[in-house]
Amino acid sequence: MTKAMGSAMRRIQIGNALSAFGLGFTVPYLYVYVAQVRELGPTSAGIVLGAFAMAALVALPFVGMLIDRRGPLPVLVGASVLAALGAVSLGVSTSLVTAVGSAALLGIGTAVLQPALATMIVWCSSAETRTRAFAMQFFLANLGLGIGGLIGGQIVDENDPASFTLLFSIEAVMFLVLAGIVMTVRLPRPAAMGEAAGGKGGMFAGLGVLVKHKAMLQLCGLGFVLFFACYGQFESGLAAYGTEAAGIDPSTLGIALAANTAMIVAAQFLVLKFVERRRRSRMIALVGLIWTVAWMAAGYAGLGHGSQAMATAAFISTYALFGLGEAMLSPTVAPLVADLAPESMVGTYNSAFALVKQLALAVGPAVGGPMGASLHMPYIVTFILFSLGISVLALRMGKSLTPAQDLPIPVRTIVVAKHVPENDVSVKAAV
């Protein structure tokens, strides 16, 4: 990596961390803010959260083409400004209509940031450095979210709407800081940029290339299962299961989420050397096995045979094991998307994968929430099977990957020099 690319990468990572810090201020409190602070009720809060998710689903199919045509920088700046406007307006919203509109702006902005940031990281990295770059992005994002959530928790006051307005204002400032930082970045421009997306057929030609790419379709299917079985359950099905079946105190859910973040922060770079020298498909399969154990721990917590302390410990360990799997996925999945993409379609591939993630995050709570609250053992068995399915799908996908895609940093063969006697002419000739 050149010095200029290294400087660009550092600025991108700093901006990424600050925007995550801003999100951490508000994401944990959005439901409480709409339902209780603004007194709009649980139904309205659900509608606002739905608008946040659905707006992202509407925007993402078109973002990839725009990134590939214009580059990720203007798209990221536009998304940051849009997210800032959404955050500011949400902080002063007092009606359902304004809250829904503000949440939609915030949802579009934050969703578009993902593929734009991912494409910038791809442009500023090489096959050898990409794994660590995405690991650093995930590490800083989780660190920012965790710190933001902790500080935000000290500021919020359910009896004071102004405290929430302050939170949303801080979030908006962080988005604008991200825009300001990335505007100072000079990105290398790939020679093939715009060829596929800008040629005949436009977006549909690009999508046609993607849907014919077997390995990418397999990765998208695998990605849906990954996000559905993990992130889609954190604050819905698993939380409902923990409180209803395992008798977990609601305050313990915060501790479990903190354990998840702490595991990611502690393990990210410890597992990186282990992950980056091994086949990506096998590492994803290993994550599936780790998450199988996590769901078994959750099942034990809900059986009721042990003490409440044991159930609580098992439930917290579930979130920690999820964190270990996430730390292994961050340097694996995102770089694989980039390596599968043609040079002129990195934005399209990143956006497609972000769309799959968003779909899983929308469907996951809708399915997992009711199951976790009432169908306790079927819920656990279902997601144990999903986790085992991750391992099966990953190994099957590995057969469609080239050696360079599955193992981009091959273990170098160590050549031991052999001393050749000076008078051994035949050996010299052979050498």
- Distance of alpha carbon 122 from alpha carbon 89, whole angstroms: 33
Report the predicted TM-score, pTM, of the whole model to 2 decimal places. Answer: 0.84
Closest CA to 190 of 132, 126, 131, 134: 126
Question: In angstroms, what is the C-alpha Rg of the chain?
Answer: 23
pLDDT tens for the chain, residues 1 to 431 = 567 677 889 899 998 898 898 888 887 778 788 888 898 988 888 888 888 888 888 888 889 889 988 899 999 999 999 999 999 999 999 999 999 999 999 999 999 999 999 999 998 888 788 889 999 999 998 888 888 888 887 888 878 899 989 999 999 999 999 999 999 988 776 655 555 444 445 555 667 788 889 999 999 999 999 999 888 887 678 888 988 888 888 778 878 888 998 999 899 989 998 998 899 999 999 999 999 999 999 999 988 767 888 999 999 999 999 999 999 999 999 999 999 999 889 999 999 999 999 899 888 888 888 898 889 999 999 999 999 999 999 999 999 999 989 988 765 533 444 444 444 433 333 33
* Secondary structure of residue 241 in the 3-state scheme: helix
What per-residue confidence (pLDDT) applies to 384?
96
- Distance of alpha carbon 295 from alpha carbon 154, whole angstroms: 32
- Distance of alpha carbon 61 from alpha carbon 205, whole angstroms: 13
Let me know the angle formed at the C-alpha of 380 by 376 and 382, rounded to the nearest 5 degrees: 115
The secondary structure of the chain in percent helix, strand, coil, rounded to multiples of 5, reads: 80, 0, 20
With beta carbons less than 8 A apart as the criterion, state whether 14 and 144 touch: no
Dig out the tokens for 90 from the structure. 């949400």
Torsion angles phi and psi, residue 107, rounded to 5: -65, -45
Amino acid at 427: V
Q: Burial of 278 by CB count in 10 Å (0-12 exposed, 13-18 middle, 19+ buried)? A: middle
Q: Is the alpha carbon torsion for 219, 225, 226, 227 positive or negative?
A: positive
